[in-house]
Amino acid sequence: VVPCQSYHIKLAIADANDDWKDSGVFIEANSFKSDGITLEPADGIYSSDSTELTLVEGCRNGKFKLTRPANVANDPAIVTLEYAGTATMGADFNTLPATVTFAPGEREKLFDITPVLDNLTEGTETLQIFLKTALCGNTRSDSLRLYIKDSIAFTRTTNLVQCSAFSNTISGRNVDTTNTNTYTWSTGATTQSITVNRPGTYTVVNNFSIRCYNIDRFVLTNGDPMVRLGNDTTLCEGDQLWLNAGVGNARYLWSRGDTLQRIQVTNGSSYWVRVTLPNGCFASDTINTNFKLLPVVDLGKDTSLCAYDSIRLGRQTYLGTSYVWSTGATSTRITGKPGNTYSLTTTLNGCSYNTSIRIDTRRMPIANAGPNQIILNGGEAKISAQRGPNNATYRWTPANTLNNANIFNPIAAPDTTTNYILRVISQDGCVLYDTMQIFIETKLSIPNAFSPNGDGINDTWNIPLLNTHIFADVQVFDRYGKLVYSTTGYDKPWNGTSNGKPLPNGVYYYNIRLNQNKSPQTGWVMIIR
C-alpha cells in the first residue's frame, strides 16, 4: 500500500438462513494503520496520573522523543513539528525545532524541553506538540500535551534586611499538591516553614516527585548597625582616648550616660555603647581600657637663685622608674645651679613623663669693704667701701664703733685695731660679704723739716694720721711768737705759707692739740727751701 491513498475492503458475509441466523462483521478500531513515526514523552517529565504530563520551572529538563519503525529506518525522513497551547516558546520554554530530519539507519530523535524559571506566578500553562506529515496533505499524525507549572517559591519573594533581635518566618510553596512534597533547608530543617533571625543565605530543596525537585534561595541581611569600639587597650595616665560609635544618623547611649557619637575617656574602666538606628535595629559593643601609672616628678616652678646657691632637683617615684636628665645623669636627684635649664624624662612600664625647670641667676650685690686703714688712737676713719646697685642694703659689724652700720661708707672710731665685716644684700635677696681692718697707732710721728720748693718732694708738712683726728687743732708760730698758721682738722697738710705768702726759711714752733682733754704736743719744724 502507498500511504495516504484510499483503499476499499469488501467483505462477503454468508447468511445461513434469513430467519434463523444473523451474521455481522466487527472491524477493530484503528486496525487500518501503518507503522509510522511516533511522538512520546521521555525523561524529566513528571506525571501525577496517567493523563497529565507536567514540567516544572526550575526542575531539570524534560525530554520528548520521535521514534520510527525499524522497517523504514534505512530510508531518510523529514517530519514537521507544530506547537500550540498557552505557553510561549522562548518565554516559557526553550526554542524547539520546526522540522526533524532522520538520517538513514536513525530510528530515534531526543529533544530537551527547558521550562524557563521566571519567578512569575502564571498558573499552569499548556504546551501541545503535533507531529505532521506532508505525505497525507500535511495532516497531524501524532501529538503530545504537556503542562508547565510554576516553580516553588518563598512566601516572601524579596530578600530581607532584618534586626538580629527580631525573627521572620519564610516558607516554601508547594508546586504540586497531588503528591507528597518534602523540604530540605540549608539549616537542616525539613518543615515547609522555618523561622530565621541570623543573616545569611537560606536554601530550600523541594522534592515533589521521584523525577523532579526544585531549589530556591533567600538572603537575609543583618540590619543592625556596625559598632566597633576597637580592641581592649592600655594607655598611660594623661593620654587622651576618643571612643567613636562609628555610625551616623543614630541614637547613642554610653555606659556613663553620654548621648554623643564620640566620647573622650581618661580613666581605666569598661565602657559600652548602644547604638539604635531609626528602623529600631540596635547593637552594642564594649571596650576595656587601662591606664598605667605615669612616673610624675615635680621639679617645681621655674625659679631663680643667687650665683653662689644651688638646689636639689628630683625625687624618688615608683619603684622601677628610670631617670634621664639633660645633663646625662641617670640618678634620681641632681644639683641644679643658676643660669641653666634642666629637663628630666622618667619612664615606668613604657610610660614616659617629661618635665623641665629653668633656674635664672638673681641680681648679685657688690661687696667691697675697701682697703685696710690706720688711724691715730682716738681718731676716726671713713670706710671707703664700694657702692653697689641701687636698693642694696648694707650691714657692718661690729656696729658699736660706727656712726651708722647700715650705710656703705660709715665712719669708724675704734679704740683698738678692729676687723669690720660688711654684709651686702641685693634687692633679689642675694648676700655677699667682705672685710677690712682699721689699725690703731698710739704715737703721733711729727716731721721736723720740709722743703716747700715745688720739686714734689717734701713740699708739705705731712703729719701721718693727724687727719684721723678731725677736730685736732694745729698752730705754728715764728720765732717771735707770731701765729703764722692755724687749722682745726688736718685734712690738708701745711705748705709753708702764711696768708698765701711763702714763709722764709727758718725754725718755726708748733702746738698740736688732738682733743680738749689732752695736753698739746709741742716742738719745732724747719722750713728749708
pLDDT tens digits for 508-519?
A: 999 999 887 778
Quick one: cell of 221? 541581611
Q: Using an 8 Å Cβ cutoff, are 131 and 91 in contact?
A: no
Residues with Cβ within 8 Å of 378's Cβ and at least 6 positions away in sequence, in order, are 415, 469, 514, 515
Is the pLDDT at 312 greater than 70? The verdict is yes
Q: Sort strands 303-305 and 351-361 into parallel, antiparallel or unpaired.
A: parallel
Lowest pLDDT segment from 57-66, 98-107, 189-198, 228-237: 57-66
In the structure, what pLDDT confidence band is assigned to residue 361 with cuts at 50, 70 and 90? very high
% of the chain exceeding 90 in pLDDT: 56
Can you read off the three cell numbers belonging to residue 98? Answer: 520546526
pLDDT surpasses 50 at 379: yes
Give the tens place of pLDDT for each residue, 517-529.
778 999 999 999 8
Q: Largest alpha-carbon pair distance within the chain?
A: 236
Which residues, listed in sequence order, are joined to residue 127 by a DSSP beta bridge?
Answer: 146
- Please state which of the ranges 19-23, 277-281, 390-394, 502-506 shows the lowest mean pLDDT: 19-23
- Residue 30 pLDDT: 64
How confident is the model over 16-33, as a mean pLDDT? 68
At position 429, the amino acid (one-letter code) is: G
What 3-state class would DSSP assign to 225?
coil
Judge if pTM exceeds 0.85. Answer: no
Is the pLDDT at 260 greater than 70? The verdict is: yes
Which pLDDT value is given to residue 134? 58
Residue 188 φ/ψ region, left for φ over 0, alpha for ψ in the -120 to 50 degree band, beta for the rest: left
Mean of the per-residue pLDDT values for the chain?
Answer: 86
Contacts of 190 (CB under 8 A, 6+ apart): 182, 183, 184
Residue 276 pLDDT exceeds 90 = yes
> Mean of the pLDDT values across residues 39-45?
77
Residue 506 has pLDDT above 60, yes or no: yes
Cβ burial of 17 (10 Å; 0-12, 13-18, 19+) is exposed
Here the cell at position 211 is 523525577
- Judged by DSSP in three states, 467 sits in helix
Helix (H), strand (E) at residue 357? strand 351-361
Strand ranges for 150-231 from DSSP E: 160-162, 168-171, 182-185, 193-196, 200-207, 213-222
In eight-state DSSP terms, residue 396 is E
245 within 8 A of 260, measured Cβ to Cβ: no
Measured in residues, the chain has a length of 529
Overall average pLDDT of the 34-44 stretch = 77
The stretch 382-410 carries a mean pLDDT of 91
Once rounded to an integer, what is the mean pLDDT over residues 110-121? 84
Residue 70 cell numbers, joined: 525499524
Q: Quote the CA–CA distance of 29 and 328 in Å, as a whole number.
A: 124
The pLDDT confidence band at residue 45, using thresholds 50, 70 and 90, is: low
Residue pLDDT, tens place only, 457-483: 999 999 999 999 988 999 999 999 999
Q: β-pairing, 501-502 with 282-292? A: unpaired
Higher pLDDT, 378 or 207: 378
- For residue 480, the tally of other CB atoms under 10 A from its CB is 6
Comparing 517 with 131, which gets the higher pLDDT?
A: 131
Contact present, 302 and 360 (Cβ < 8 Å): yes
For residues 256, 262, 265 and 268, what is the CA-based torsion angle, rounded to 10 degrees?
70
More confident residue, 17 or 222: 222
Quick check: 177 pLDDT over 80? no
Amino acid symbol at 332: T
Tell me which residue has cell 493523563: 51
Rounded-to-integer distance, Cα 251 and Cα 78, Å: 75
Determine contact, residues 81/97, Cβ cutoff 8 Å.
yes
Spatial separation of the C-alpha atoms in residues 389 and 36, rounded to whole Å: 142
304-327 average pLDDT score: 93
Q: Which residue has the higher pLDDT, 260 or 138?
A: 260
Chain position carrying cell 531518510 = 76
Task: Report residue 30 as a C-alpha cell.
Answer: 484503528
Which of residues 26 and 106 earns the better pLDDT score? 106
The whole-number pLDDT of residue 89 equals 94
Residue 273: pLDDT over 90: yes
pLDDT of 362 over the 90 cut: yes
On the question of pLDDT at 22 being above 70, the answer is no
Flag the least confident range among 52-66, 134-148, 408-422, 470-484: 134-148
pLDDT of residue 155: 52
What integer is the mean pLDDT of 240-266? 93
Q: What is the pLDDT of residue 50?
A: 44
Q: List C-alpha distances in Å: 164 to 200, 201, 256.
A: 11, 15, 25
Residue 156 has pLDDT above 60, yes or no: no
Residue with cell 617615684: 317
In this predicted structure, what is the pLDDT of residue 186? 87
Residues whose CB falls within 8 Å of the CB of residue 494, separated by 6 or more in sequence, listed in order? 460, 461, 474, 476, 485, 487
User: Percent of the chain at pLDDT above 70?
Assistant: 87
Domains of the chain: 38-149 (2.60.40.2030), 160-222 (2.60.40.10), 233-292 (no CATH), 303-361 (no CATH), 373-441 (2.60.40.1080), 449-527 (2.60.40)
> Using CA atoms, how far apart are residues 506 and 493, in angstroms rounded to an integer?
18
